Amino acid sequence: MQPRFHDKVAVVIGGNSGIGLASARAFALEGARVVITGRDRATLTRAAQSIGGDVLPVRCDMSDLRQIDALAGEIRERLGRIDVLFVNAGTGAFIPIEAVTESDWDRLMAVNLKGVFFTVQKSLPLMPKGGAIVLNSSIGWKKGIPTGSVYAASKAGVRALGRNFAAELVGRGIRVNVVSPGPIDTPIIGRTAGLAPEMIPALRKQMLENTPMRRMGEPAEVARAALFLASDEASFITGVDLLVDGGAASF
Ligand SMILES: NC(=O)c1ccc[n+]([C@@H]2O[C@H](COP(=O)([O-])OP(=O)(O)OC[C@H]3O[C@@H](n4cnc5c(N)ncnc54)[C@H](OP(=O)(O)O)[C@@H]3O)[C@@H](O)[C@H]2O)c1
């Protein structure tokens, strides 16, 4: 039996860290030719080396439309098409309402919402019938969390994009689904706007208390969900939001 992604081109936006890296590794193990993106050249190179095999690392800041255009151009030239697009990259923020500045808002939305929209828009010309798109949202869009408003708004937008993309693309044979992780053990916490290092232990404790399984998820656990949604096993599934959260948003 062929692996699920034999000879497919899988593009993982934000594939040099955390959930994206675990997903890129899993796509490669299951036979895909993989493109990984991110802004940081060093981690991109390291990630490509650690995955091994047929991996193309491309630097791309998804808040910049010209860079998304250049990414699509490079994929067209090097690989010719995109069978699977996992729009995973994102950035976090825990900032009290009064402290949010316009630039905090713009910076976060430029990546988490505008970047997601235009990455899909500019990838579509390369996606044949049978293609699959998976967007990475968060259970943040379903829960009220103090200081989480800007991030949650961006991720609610991602969930809405998933549903609307799915409706618009179903006639073209392209499925679109969303994965919404709960607390996952990745470097994102250390990079979250508004979160000083000394606040991290208390936040982790609170996350565990709010998660019925009483543990953080592993990046590979989200990757497995994303690969399922991207695979032919999910051939009759489009427009859904799959929670990978140890029960955090459900009870
Ligand atoms: N970890 C969690 O608890 C959790 C929970 C719910 C949802 N999520 C979502 O899961 C996704 C992946 O996060 P993670 O936890 O795996 O965090 P991570 O390890 O920090 O990875 C974030 C990824 O996004 C990329 N990225 C950030 N800003 C970018 C930009 N402007 N342009 C292009 N790429 C950019 C990063 O690469 P560069 O830094 O090189 O650009 C990196 O590859 C995010 O959308 C996040 O919101 C995570």
Residue 217 near residue 185, CB atoms below 8 Å: yes
pLDDT in the model for residue 235:
98
Q: What would the pLDDT profile of 62-72 be if each residue is shown by its tens digit?
A: 999 999 999 99
Is the CB of residue 62 below 6 angstroms from any atom belonging to ligand 1? Answer: yes
The radius of gyration computed from the CA coordinates of the chain, to the nearest angstrom, equals 17
Residue nearest to atom 34 of ligand 1 (CA): 38
Q: What would the pLDDT profile of 102-150 be if each residue is shown by its tens digit?
A: 999 999 999 999 999 999 999 999 999 999 999 999 999 999 999 999 9
Q: What would the pLDDT profile of 28-63 be if each residue is shown by its tens digit?
A: 999 999 999 999 999 999 999 999 988 999 999 999
Is the CB of residue 38 below 6 angstroms from any atom belonging to ligand 1? Answer: yes
Rounded to whole angstroms, the maximal C-alpha distance in the chain is 57
- CA–centroid distance, 91 to ligand 1, in Å, is 5
Q: What is the mean pLDDT of residues 159-184?
A: 98
- Residue partners of 175: CB distance under 8 A and separation at least 6: 131, 132, 133, 166, 169, 229, 234, 235, 237, 238
Residue 23 near residue 226, CB atoms below 8 Å: yes
Give the global pTM: 0.98
- CA–centroid distance, 171 to ligand 1, in Å, is 31
Q: Which residue's structure tokens are 């997903």?
A: 23
Which regions of the chain does DSSP assign to beta strands (E)? Answer: 9-13, 33-38, 55-59, 84-87, 132-136, 175-181, 241-244
Report the distance separating Cα 154 and Cα 132, nearest Å.
22
Residue nearest to atom 24 of ligand 1 (CA): 89
Q: Where are the domains of the chain?
A: 9-242
- CA–centroid distance, 206 to ligand 1, in Å, is 21
Residues with catalytic function: 151
Is the CB of residue 210 below 6 angstroms from any atom belonging to ligand 1? Answer: no
Q: Which atom of ligand 1 is nearest to the CA of 136?
A: 45
Residue nearest to atom 19 of ligand 1 (CA): 18
Q: Which two tokens stand for residue 1?
A: 């039996």
Residue nearest to atom 46 of ligand 1 (CA): 90
pLDDT in the model for residue 190:
87
Taking CA atoms, 143 is separated from 58, 138, 139, 151, 251, in Å, by 34, 10, 7, 11, 11
Using DSSP, state whether 33 is helix, strand or coil. Answer: strand
Q: Which two tokens stand for residue 116?
A: 């997601």
Is the CB of residue 190 below 6 angstroms from any atom belonging to ligand 1? Answer: no
Is the CB of residue 90 below 6 angstroms from any atom belonging to ligand 1? Answer: yes
Using DSSP, state whether 63 is helix, strand or coil. Answer: coil
Residue nearest to atom 14 of ligand 1 (CA): 18
Q: What would the pLDDT profile of 186-244 be if each residue is shown by its tens digit?
A: 999 889 988 889 988 988 999 999 999 999 999 999 999 999 999 999 999 999 999 99
Q: What would the pLDDT profile of 86-101 be if each residue is shown by its tens digit?
A: 999 999 999 999 999 9
Q: What is the mean pLDDT of residues 143-166?
A: 97
- CA–centroid distance, 14 to ligand 1, in Å, is 6
pLDDT in the model for residue 55:
97
- CA–centroid distance, 194 to ligand 1, in Å, is 16
- 9-242 folds as Rossmann fold (3.40.50)
pLDDT in the model for residue 195:
87
- Residue partners of 236: CB distance under 8 A and separation at least 6: none
pLDDT in the model for residue 53:
87
